[in-house]
Structures are given as C-alpha cells and as structure tokens.
Copies of this chain bind each other. A is one copy, B any other.
Amino acid sequence: MDLAKEIARFPNTGRFLAGRLRHDMSEAEKEELERLVEQTSTAGDGDRIVERGEQCDRSTLLIEGFVVRTIENDGRRYAVSFHVPGDFVDLHCFALKRLDHNLDCIGPARFGHVSHAAILDIMQRRPHLARLLWFQTLLDAAMHREWIMKLEQLTAPRRIAHVFAEIWRRLEMVGLGYADGFDTPLRQTDIAQMCGTTAIHANRALAELRSKGIADFQRGEVRIRDRDKLEDYADFSADYLYGDGALALRTIAA
C-alpha cells in the first residue's frame, strides 16, 4: 500500500491506522470513513480542543499536527499521552461522553469532526469498521500501559529516549518520519511533562543524550544516528504499538 497515494485519495483519513490495520480496510470502508468527516477545523499552539468534563457528541480526528492529553492539578500540567496525524484523539468520548482529561495542541493543527450518531450507525451497518475503531481506542490503552512501565522503571534520560523512540516509530507509520530522526513542535517543557520530570532536569537529560550520541534534540529537530542504540538505551520494543512486531495481527474479524 502506497501511503502517499492513500493520503491523496483520502485527504482527511488517509493516515488512519496506517502501518497498523489499514491494510485490512476495504475500499468501501475507506470511502465510508472519509465521508464520516463532516467538517474540518484548524487550531494553533496551546489551543485546547476538548476540556475535561465537557459533554461532547462528536469525535475528533487529528489530520495534521501534534496533540497532547493533559490533566491539570494544582495549576501544574501533566501530559498522559500524545497524538500524531491519523489518530482519532477522542474517539473514546463516543462511549465515555465526558473526558477525564484535556486535549491541547502543540503547534498548529488541523482536525476532522465525526458525529457520534454517525459512529453509532457504523456500528450497526459495518461491524468490521466498528471493530477497527474500537481497536484504535485500545491502542491508546496499550500505549498508556507502556508509559506506566516506563515511569515505574526508567531514569529521566531513558524516559526521554523512550518517548523519542515511540514518536519516531509512530511518525514513520504515518509517513512523517525521516531516516535520521523526526521533527516535532514539542518544547523541552512538553517533553518534561510527558516524562514526569521538570524542564530543568529534562534539559540536563537531553544534554546527556546528546553527549552519549543517542539523540540530538535542537529546537524541535530530533536527529538520531543509531536506532538500535537509542532503543537499547531506552529499553524500547515497538511491539506494543501493534505495528508489525510480535503482537501484530493481520486481519480482524467481522
């Protein structure tokens, strides 16, 4: 499957589950999904797309840009996950109705909106596509679990290396990675929030990654010479992303 062609044919949804189960979608399903996007919108750096507790009757697909999920507490912000283009950032809102967290843009972003009524219709008419949607929400949970282990286990530099390894793989799956790294609007503060540390310590940890030749972060440009070295250092194994590793599945029933 040629990803560039997919994106040309399906400008809003061409990256949905790319590198994962997109190959298991029929032409009809792809067209149906693309039609689900009733409306698109844009937002800028720091904009809040969804606020904790607000009731929603539609879900949001990230078409371009970066989004973080955050929870606020005592005025401090904690990031619990992040999203790349092609992700349905709040599909779980379909069943939860109110979210337990916020969705914030990092850098400019573009979104597609899908009403919950339309998703309900899909569930009944197209169970296979519905199951793929469910799958995507479970991917989020799998990534959460990996983050929990990462936080329980790794030191700050290794956590950052782990985040870099994950971002790089996920961007590659949707055609946005480079051979020697990736670009991101993330600041050091954002990285710190994703790794449960302070911006100051994140800065020192980044310096260490640089001096060890593991990853070079410079104002949003991440350059990595040796992927194995990075992934070894971070104790990273991409299985949990359900791409083509040990846990991958090729098709899904119904």
Contact = CB atoms under 8 A, between A and B. Distances in A.
Contacts of A142: 96, 100
A247 B95 contact: no
Given A95-B131, A142-B100, A78 B137 contact: no
Interface in A86-118: 92, 94-101, 116
Interface in A127-141: 127, 130-131, 134-135, 137-138, 140-141
Interface stretch (A2-10, A147-155, A169-177, A217-225): A147-155
Please tell me the size bucket of the interface on A.
Answer: 35 or more
A145 B116 CA distance: 23
A120 B253 CA distance: 8
A203 interface: no
Contacts of A193: 152
Task: Please classify the interface of chain A as helix (H, G, I), strand (E, B), loop, or mixed, using the class held by over half of its residues.
Answer: helix
Most central of A97, A138, A140 by chain B CB within 10 Å:
A138
A202 to B, nearest CB: 12
A252 B97 contact: yes
Interface stretch (A41-49, A204-212, A234-242): A234-242
A249 B55 CA distance: 10
A11 interface: no
A71 B131 contact: no
Nearest to A197: B152
Given A148-B148, A153-B196, A254 B96 contact: no
Contacts of A95: 131, 134-135, 138, 252
Contacts of A254: 120, 123-124
A235 B153 contact: no
Nearest to A152: B196
Contacts of A81: 145, 148
Interface of A: 53, 69, 71, 73-74, 76, 78, 80-81, 92, 94-101, 116, 120, 123-124, 127, 130-131, 134-135, 137-138, 140-142, 144-149, 151-153, 193, 195-196, 235, 239-240, 242, 246-247, 249, 252-254
